[in-house]
Every structure is written in C-alpha cells, then in structure tokens.
Structure 1
C-alpha cells in the first residue's frame, strides 16, 4: 500500500466524498483532488497533526478539520499505526448557506477562520454511517447526498460544534495529552500516569484539559474508544471482545457507553449496517 491512499466514494454536482488512508510513513498528499475548494476532513481512525503556518491542529476522531482552498497544509504522525479520514466537499454556494458567519474569516473569498471544531456523538455516528453506506455501495446518490449534507450541517451548527481554543501553552498541553491517550486506546490510564507523562500535576492537567476541550479527560478518552468502535463495528462478529480490546471493563460497560453516546446499542448499530448490506444484495 502506498503511504497515502485516496478512494473516491461519491461524486455528484452537490457533494463529493473521499475515504483516505495513510500508513503514517509520509505526508498527506499535497496534490489531493479536494485541494482546489473548501472541504471538511473527518478523522475516524488514528491520530495525526496538521500545520497551517505556525498553527497546528491535532486530528483525531470526534473532530472536523475545516480546510480552505489552495492552502499547503503540512502533516506529521506522532503516533504509530497510521490514520484514516473521510473528506467531504460541498458545492460552494450550498456550503455558504450552511457555514455560520462566525466561522468565516473571509466570506467573500470563502475562508474558514477556525482550523477545527469538536463534534458531538451523533455527528460522529453520521460519519460512520456515511462511510459504511458508501464503501458497501448500499446508499443511492440521493440518500448519500442527504447523509453528507446532514453531517456537514450538524458539524457546523452552533449547538453541536464547539470551537476548541485557549492560550497557546494550554492548547499544547491538551494536545500532548491527546497523543498520550491515542498511543494506547486499550490502556486503563490513571490520572497520575498521564500527568507524569506530560510533566504537570494531576490537578493542573484536569483543569487545563477541561478548559481547552470543554469536557473532562475521562470523557475524551471514552469518545476516542467509542469512535474506534464505530470504525470497526461493521466488520467484527464478537462485540464483547471488541469492547475489551478497546479498554472497556465488560461488554455491559461498552454497550451502555455506546447506547448513551449514539442512541442505540452496539448490536443494533451493527445490525443496521448489516441490514443495509443485505438490502443491497
């Protein structure tokens, strides 16, 4: 496999969707087909870092990266294992209708002011459903367009998307914490262990992370694990084993967390994916 693979999943006059996989050995493609227009990047596996000049954004599941046209973003991979993202490009006139002015730096030339937003759990579930539906070719173009536009609308909406921000120093501390957690999703970290890795006190770590990310550290780790479950759930038979592999203490713990986040149990979500495949066949 090449260092960076691009799989076109959908192309209509309204929406274009690509699935991208990087093995972590090189940079992301600078000549990618979406570069000429604004687009949204939804990481769903692994972790990578994107640089826009002196600013950086840690890209992991539960985030959307807002990307401007003709910008030479640089990437690097501080965590082994590679990464994967869904890239969604919406026709610009329609994107202007969906993007709040508060997120824009230059409305005339259409430029996002923010690098990234945090997503809520339902938006993350939409990423998984859109990807599964397109990869299995079980969504008609109209349905796929509707799913993609719903995802973009929810991602940019003021009630569901949250700008991550603080001072540069506190942002760096939060980003370093993310790298520690992403390095081993199955590990049951203690607060003291994470703080020791970062080189700060546990109290300071919890306060800063909450301020920067808008949620407690343990909930952030839970979201990482659940996002990985969404990525794998359509391709595994043993859901209890999947939960244990991702660090949940039991299947009931995994199932309850999944239900609370996405509104359905892991088995219900998996059955929905399988049912869509069967309808296609």
Structure 2
C-alpha cells in the first residue's frame, strides 16, 4: 500500500484544495522533503511531528501548519494510526493579501515566519464543512472558494490564532503531552496521570500548557475530541456510541460540548453537511 493517498478536491487557479491521508509508518524522522509551493495544512485526524532544522511542531486538529516553498523539513509519527489533513494552496499574490504582514517573510516568494498556529473551534468546523462538502460534490466552486478563504482568514486572524512565546524547553514538554493525549483520545485523563507519564508536577504542566497554547490543558483535549467528532459525525448512525468512544460520559454530555464549541448539535451539523452534498 502507498504511504500517501492524495485526493484533489478543488482547483480554480486561484486556490487548490486536496485531502491527504498518510499511513504514518515512519515512526522516526523521515528523509528530508521540500514543498514545491507554500501551502496551509489543516490536520483533522491523527498526529505527526514536523521538523524544520532543530525546531519541531505538533500537527494535530488544533493547529494549522505552514509549509513554505523551497523549505526542507522532516516528518515523524510517534502515534500509531496515521493521519489525515486538508491542504490549501493559494497564489503568492493572494497569500500576501490575506496573511498579516507580521506572519510573512519579506522575500520575493512569500512564506511564513512560523511553523504553525493554534486555531479555534470555528476554524475546525470550517475545515470539516469544506472537506465533507467537496468530498461529496455538493458545493459549487465559487462557494467552496469563499469557504476556503473564510477558513484562511479565520486561521490567520489575530483574534483566533495563537502563536506562543514560551521557551523551547516548555514547548517540547507540552509537545510530549500532546502526543500522550493523541495516543489515547478517548481516555479520561487526570492531571496526576499525565504528570506521572510526562514528569513534573500537575501545577507546572498546567502552567506550561497554558503559556504555550493559550488555553487550559483540559480544553485543548476537549477540542481534539470534538474535532474527531467533526470527522466522524457525518457518517455516524449511533451518536451515543460515538460519544462513549470519544470519552464523553453520555450522549447529552457530548451534544452539549459539541453545541458549545460549534454552535450546532452533532445531528444538526451532520444534516447541514449532508444538505450541501445532497
């Protein structure tokens, strides 16, 4: 079986959208790769690490990653199960227009100064809606372009994006926590259990996570589980089973958390996504 499965979903000349699934068989650092064009990557399933020089970033559903044209990188997969991402590519002119100048290098070919940014639940919902709609062919190209541009603006906006100023040591510590959480998505972790696995006190881990991600650890974990629900809910017939698989105590607990994050119940989101593909 091939390591990657790439499905083009949209290409208008202005922007392109594709779905990329990876088996994740390379647990350690891969050989160096290089992106041919600058693009934004929105992981929605699984987790991997992207290494640029001595720096690394965690690719999970709470982040958007930036792959710059001509920039070498390596990838590793510390969590079994592979990963999947929605990939957006846009023209250099449009990138300069959309992205805040502070995020871009001052070069002829625009590229990002940072490897990744944290995104909010609204951006996660846009990723899912765009992917589901394009996959089922139920959205016109103009609407899909508008949705993709809204997603990009939302992800790069100062109100919703978060770039950390934490030290490298703290970022690496928090990265280990993210890998741990992704390895057992539906587990109901306690701070003491996480601290025992990672090392350090529960208080220190809580403070470090808040500084690095800008949200409490428990909320970060909740958003990962809800993002997984966005991936699965469109084809799910048993919401109660899905709720339990994702670590929620009941269907009602899951529905309340989903509605608070995305403004809709799981069933309403499912109907909306399917309506676009009807």
Normalized against structure 1, the TM-score is what?
0.95
Map 1:9-88 to 2 at 5 A: 9-26=9-26, 27=30, 30=33, 35-88=35-88
- Alignment-derived partner of residue 239 in structure 1: 239
Contact 2:10 2:134 in 1 (8 A): yes
Contact 2:36 2:70 in 1 (8 A): yes
Cα deviation digits, residues 169-219 of structure 1 (max 9, x gap): 000010000011111011111110000000111111111111111111100
Q: CA deviation at 1:164?
A: 2.9
Contact 1:22 1:28 in 2 (8 A): no
Counterpart-to-counterpart distance in 2, 1:29 and 1:248 = 39
Contact 1:188 1:247 in 2 (8 A): yes
Map 1:109-148 to 2 at 5 A: 109-148=109-148
Map 1:191-270 to 2 at 5 A: 191-270=191-270
- Alignment-derived partner of residue 98 in structure 1: 98
Contact 2:32 2:74 in 1 (8 A): no
Q: How many residue pairs end up in the alignment?
A: 275
Contact 1:128 1:231 in 2 (8 A): yes
Indicate the RMSD between aligned Cα atoms, in angstroms. 1.4
Secondary structure class of the residue paired with 1:87: strand
5+ long unaligned stretches in structure 1: none
5+ long unaligned stretches in structure 2: none
Q: CA deviation at 1:109?
A: 2.9
Contact 2:92 2:109 in 1 (8 A): no
Normalized against structure 2, the TM-score is what?
0.96
Q: CA deviation at 1:111?
A: 2.0
